[in-house]
Each structure stands twice: as C-alpha cells, then as structure tokens.
Amino acid sequence: MTSSTESVRIYWIYTLLSLVGIALFLVFKPEWFWVMLPPFFTAFIKAKRWM
C-alpha cells in the first residue's frame, strides 16, 4: 500500500466522521448543523484529491 493511498483513506474517514457529526447535529441541535459543514467539505475535497 502506498503512502498516497493511506493519506487519502484518512480523509475519507474524516469525511464519514463529519457526516455523522452533521447527522447528530441535525437531530440534537438543528440550528448548529452548519458548524460541521466546513470540516465535511474540506475532508471531502481532499479525499477526492481536488486540492
């Protein structure tokens, strides 16, 4: 396994964790769900290697 694959894998994990965070915020504090959007989109963009 290459180092590049491992670095992308960690960003996919961050993306999934942020998605879970968004879902939890929507259930418990819907007015604050936007707080999890920047980490979600940043991790997603890095996982897709667009940045």
Asked if 36 contacts 51 with a C-beta cutoff of 8 angstroms, the reply is no
Contacts with 47 (C-beta within 8 Å, 6 or more apart), sequence order: 8, 11, 12, 14, 15
Predicted confidence (pLDDT) per residue in 1-49, tens digit: 666 667 899 999 999 999 999 999 999 999 999 999 999 999 999 999 9
Domain regions of the chain by residue span: 3-47
Is this prediction's pTM over 0.85?
no
Crossing angle of helices 37-47 and 3-28, in 10° steps, is 160
